[in-house]
């Protein structure tokens, strides 16, 4: 166990008991516990396997390469319409964690095998930048540099957010509103 992670579990107000039960299951697997992105993360030989996420309506165990896992028990859920790799198991009650204990262990073992085999998610072509974003980046070197330094997922988030606007003026407005977050290296969905 890791004392920094201990504190995260002790201080948690949301999904505390469920997270503690889930942690107990994960510590029984071939995983190392650490904190990443402010959340309990579980690795094997330094490679990310899964992470516990406290959402408003559920507790999630996200598998970083969940898209590559078999899901015979049909417990994995895609994070969102634009997610490619991370799939998660969602819990709303401690009894669900207890009931799925065997399945969680099996999925963790498979996730470790996937990582050790060096498998990776098919990186389909990235979405095209909206014209307004391309033009803005060509005029704003600081924004361009910050945008290029974002993680691929954060870039996609902004691209989808900006592209989903029907009108050019709305796309430009979204770019302007996102500028400070991009300069800070934050994604569209990151908390401030």
| 175 inside domain | yes
As a three-state string, the secondary structure of 118-148 is CCCCCCCCCCCCCHHHHHHHHHCHHHHHHHH
Q: How far, in Å, CA of 187 to CA of 182, rounded?
A: 7
Same domain, yes or no, for 150 and 100?
Answer: no
Strand order in the sheet with 77-78: 32-36, 39-44, 47-54, 59-63, 87-91, 77-78
- Asked if the model's pLDDT at residue 92 lies above 60, the reply is yes
Same domain, yes or no, for 23 and 95?
Answer: yes
| 125 inside domain | no
Q: How far, in Å, CA of 51 to CA of 37, rounded?
A: 10
Q: How far, in Å, CA of 52 to CA of 23, rounded?
A: 8
* CATH number of 11's domain: 3.90.1150
Q: Which domain holds residue 64?
A: 3-116
Report if pTM > 0.95. Answer: no
At 59 the three-state DSSP class reads: strand
The tokens for 61 are 């165990």
Number of structural domains the chain divides into: 2
pLDDT digits (tens, 9 = 90+) for 106-151: 999 999 999 999 988 876 667 789 999 999 999 999 999 999 999 8
Same domain, yes or no, for 102 and 163?
Answer: no
Same domain, yes or no, for 10 and 90?
Answer: yes
Out of 68, 89, 116, pick the residue that ends a domain: 116
């Amino acid at each position: 166990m890791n004392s920094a992670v201990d504190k995260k579990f002790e201080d948690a107000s949301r999904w505390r008991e469920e997270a503690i039960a889930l942690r107990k299951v994960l510590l029984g697997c071939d995983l190392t516990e650490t904190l990443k992105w402010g959340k309990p993360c579980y690795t094997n030989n330094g490679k990310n396997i899964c992470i516990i996420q406290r959402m408003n309506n559920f507790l999630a165990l996200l598998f970083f390469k969940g898209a590559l896992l078999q899901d015979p028990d049909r417990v994995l859920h895609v994070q969102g319409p634009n997610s490619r790799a991370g799939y998660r198991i969602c819990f709303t009650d401690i009894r669900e964690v207890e009931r799925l204990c065997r399945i969680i262990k099996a999925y963790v073992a498979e996730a470790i095998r996937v990582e050790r085999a060096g498998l990776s998610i098919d990186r389909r072509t990235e979405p095209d930048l909206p014209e307004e974003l391309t033009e803005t980046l060509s005029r704003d070197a600081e924004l361009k540099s910050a945008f290029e330094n974002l993680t691929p997922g954060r870039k996609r988030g902004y691209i989808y957010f900006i592209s989903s606007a029907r009108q050019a003026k709305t796309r430009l407005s979204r770019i302007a509103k996102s500028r400070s977050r991009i300069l800070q290296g934050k994604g569209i969905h990151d908390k401030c």
